[in-house]
Each structure stands twice: as structure tokens, then as C-alpha cells.
Amino acid sequence: MRDGWGMAFYQGKDVELFREPVAASTSPLVTFLERQGPSTTLAISHIRHATQGGISLANTQPFMRELGGRVHVFAHNGDLPAINRASNLAYDRFRPVGTTDSEHAFCALLERLVVPGDSPSLEVRLKILAEFAEELLELGSANFLYADGDTLFAFGDRRMQSDTDNIPAPGLYLYSCRCEDEIEHIHTQGVSLAPGYQEVVLVASVPLTGDSSLWRPFYEGELLALSDGRIVGKN
């Protein structure tokens, strides 16, 4: 897509974020990151097809904010045309910089995650995310990835074609493996694994490797919590 791209690489509680409101296919920065991007155990990337908000850096995903001493990252694929009129998805402390429905949704989610004391438990976060996703579904298509530096939450809905017509699920696909050595078929689409034993989970809008049978489609409305290459919770 020509409307923008972004990549977020977690480094502990902080994030290295790269974004441009230009086509990823012709960006020298994308080429550089494919060859020399930072190593990480948690990354989120997004290629934008604009449905709301102009083509600008402020409207380019992923979005990030600080909460509870950690950087939180959000990327959404879909269209939520009535979110500005949804009182249950209002925001106060967190406010959008741009004009997209996706950033509005992120700010509304963060409002719910503000709790006194320690960060919410995984069980509480899953409950908050599940209720949030259910409310987004009332407005439109709502595939999203959200990370808080500890856990990646992935929600699969429907997928959108380039003509903006909704088509049935899956909106996301899942690949997981336990790797003892470097595996050739993971070396693709800018994804490269370091040698040695590791557990890996990849989530993508479409399968990234040649053998699509290795990828499990998300059920429509499925929410997964992922950490250290494993599924650690679901709703």
C-alpha cells in the first residue's frame, strides 16, 4: 500500500518505532530494516490502507503511548466509521495526535487499562481486551494487535479487501513452532530468526511463508495473549 507503514521493536519496556507515510515497497528505510533491523523478542508492523484520516505521519501506525512505566503499542486493520459517536469508546487522559479511527480506539483502550497500583493481571487484561473488542465489532471490522511490553494481544475479525468491502474471517493467521536450529522457510518477508533453540509465534494478516498450511486461521472474534513465543491466554 502507498499510504504508509510502521514497525515497532520492543527493547525491554521501551520501543524503537519507525514510521513513514509513504509506500513500504519503495522505502529505503524498509530495505535497511530488513537487512539490519534491531533484534527483538516482540515486534509489531503495519502497512496502511487509509480509510479515515489523511496520509500523514500522525495517522501512520503502529501508535504508541506510555502507561504504567511501559510503552504500549497498537495496530488496527479495519474500519470503525462511527467511533467518534460511540460514548462507550470515549477518551480523556489519552488523546489522538492524528485523525484516524484506529488511534481513537487505542486511546479508548488505554483509558480502561488505567488502574491504581500495579499493572492489571493477565486475566484482568484479557477481560478488558475482550470487552473492548466486542464493542469495536459493533462499529465495523476490528482486527488488532496490542502490546504492553509484557504480552502481545491479537484479535481476529474479518478482513478487508482493497475495495474496502468486508469479506469473511479469517482476518489474522497464526504460526507457532519450537525451533532448535535456523529454519529456512522463516527467512522470508523480512522475518529472520537467530540460530539456536527458541519458541516462536507469528501473527499476520496473510501467511508469510510459501506453505500456507503451516498457518492456523483465527476464528472470527478470537482473542489470544502471547508471550515469549507461546500462547499464554485466550478468550
Q: Is a pLDDT exceeding 70 seen at residue 1?
A: no
Kindly report, residue by residue over 223-234, the tens digit of the pLDDT. 999 999 999 999
Kindly report, residue by residue over 52-65, the tens digit of the pLDDT. 999 999 999 999 99
Kindly report, residue by residue over 141-166, the tens digit of the pLDDT. 899 999 999 999 999 998 765 544 55
| More confident site: 223 or 50 | 223
Kindly report, residue by residue over 8-43, the tens digit of the pLDDT. 999 999 999 999 999 999 999 999 998 888 999 999
CA pair distance 133, 13, nearest whole angstrom: 25
- Cα separation values, 76 from 85, 122, 150, 162, 232, Å: 19, 21, 19, 15, 22
CATH architecture of 5-172+218-234: 4-Layer Sandwich (3.60)
Q: Is a pLDDT exceeding 90 seen at residue 95?
A: yes
What are the backbone dihedrals phi and psi of residue 126, each rounded to the nearest 5 degrees, phi first? -60, -40
- Provide the pLDDT for residue 167: 58
Kindly report, residue by residue over 108-126, the tens digit of the pLDDT. 999 999 987 777 899 999 9
- Provide the pLDDT for residue 161: 56
| Structural contact between residues 48 and 63, judged by C-beta atoms closer than 8 angstroms | no
pTM to 2 decimal places: 0.90
Residue ranges per domain, the chain? 5-172+218-234
